[in-house]
Amino acid sequence: MMFMTLFLLVKIFSIVTSEESNNTSLSENMSDNKTGRRKVSLPYMVSIHNTIVGKDIEKVCNGFFIGPNWVMTTAHCFDGDKINKTLIKYAVSDYSLNPNTTVIAKDIIKHPDYYNKSLINDLALVRVRLKPAHIKLVSYLLANEYGIKWRKFSEEKSRCITIGYDKNNYNDTKLKVKKIFIRNDPNACGCFATNPELLCGTSRTNESDLCFDNYGGPLVCNGLATGVANRLLHCNQQENDKCNEETYYRFTNLCPYFHWIYEYVDVFPDECFAHKAGLLSSSAYPAISASIDIILIFVLIIT
């Protein structure tokens, strides 16, 4: 009996510790402020700098490592004028700096069904080759293999964050984090139509705020890559570049694209269980596992 009691205590402690770890794993390199954004330094984040042919300007996008020498971003990062060179800056929290942690893109692979009018299938893979001494400076963001299931008749919310640089709205080149609620249902994007290949979120802070437009940056739920920032949607008139409860942060849902990504990035999962089977709720798998463990403990106690 004493052994069983000890076993149950250890099990409960491991569940609580696991859940706390999921909630705090990204916070150790952040500093809070009143707007829900955080300054952050994360080794999987990159800034993508496109030099435009014949123009003394560069277009900057966000991206993140999903495997050794592979960066995920949006396809529309490479739309518009002809690009002369694509430079990737990594292991920096402020892309205005000129570090020696830069690399030229070797290949840029857009999703074959990308449509630039509506920004559907808006994904691109960038292949790079890091210096051997720099490999230890970066890490890659693991994929959420259990995803967020499409909910046709409910409006469940997941607590997530999105990360990126946003000079356009903030005139700031430092890495930031925005806390958001994410949904995957027909009404997730408010007045805009949506589908299971897209995720939409709203700010987790109540006050009006400057819009955070970090296209190409990751949507991170339970510490795992779940989507890629696609565009901002506004269901009412903007005032002074402010966002409010009628502003929606739209993301490309990574789950339906696992097989395409796996064709190039062999460390990436080749299937997403939520997309294939539709068996899981919008809660991520660790939470489900914890619930199962708690049920098991309860059964052991009463028996």
CA 217/CA 251 separation, integer angstroms: 9
The CA-to-CA distance between both ends of the chain, in Å, stands at 12
Identify the residue with better confidence: 272 or 287.
272
- Sorted by where each begins, the domain ranges of the chain are 45-137, 158-254
Task: Specify the pLDDT at position 184.
Answer: 93
Taking the CA atoms of 170, 174, 179 and 183 in sequence, report the sign of the dihedral they define: positive
Structure tokens at 169: 């709205």
What is the residue whose two structure tokens read 């490309």? 252
- % of the chain surpassing 70 pLDDT: 72
Range 22-27, long-range pairs (CB < 8 A, 24+ positions): 22/222, 22/223, 22/286, 25/223, 26/161, 26/177, 26/220, 26/223
Q: How many CA atoms lie within 13 A of 133 on its CB side?
A: 3
Give the up-direction half-sphere exposure of residue 41: CA atoms within 13 A in the CB hemisphere: 8
Per-residue pLDDT for 243 more than 90? no
Query: What is the rounded average pLDDT of the residues 2-16?
Result: 39
E strand or H helix at 10: helix 2-24
In this prediction, residue 29 has a pLDDT band, given cuts at 50, 70 and 90, of very low
263 or 292, higher pLDDT:
263
Q: What pTM value is reported for the model?
A: 0.78
User: What backbone phi and psi angles, to 5 degrees, belong to 2?
Assistant: -65, -40
pLDDT of residue 54: 82
Decide if pLDDT at 79 tops 90: yes
pLDDT at 236: 78
Read off the pLDDT band of 57 (50, 70, 90).
confident
Decide which of 2.40.10.10, 3.90.340.10, 3.30.565.10, 1.10.3720.10 is the CATH code for 45-137.
2.40.10.10
Helix or strand (DSSP H, E) at 235: none
Which of 168-172, 215-219, 296-300 shows the lowest mean pLDDT across its residues?
296-300
Q: For 210-240, give one letter per residue: b (16+ CB within 10 A) or e.
A: bbbbbbbbbbbbbbbbbbbbbbbbeeeeeee
pLDDT band at 291; cut points 50, 70, 90: very low
* pLDDT given for residue 238 in this prediction: 60
Contact, 221 vs 160, CB < 8 A?
Answer: yes
Could you list the beta-strand ranges (E) of 235-295: 242-243, 247-253
How high does pLDDT run on average in the chain? 79
**Do 32 and 231 meet the contact criterion of CB atoms below 8 Å apart?**
no
- The predicted pLDDT at position 70 comes to 98
**C-alpha span between 135 and 69 (Å, rounded):** 9
| CATH of 158-254 among 2.40.10.10, 2.30.29.30, 1.10.760.10, 3.40.47.10 | 2.40.10.10
Residue 299's pLDDT is what? 35
Give the integer Cα–Cα distance in Å for 112 and 87. Answer: 23
Answer whether 45-137 and 158-254 agree in fold: yes
**pLDDT tens-digit readout, 133-184:** 999 999 999 999 999 988 888 888 999 999 999 766 667 789 999 999 999 9
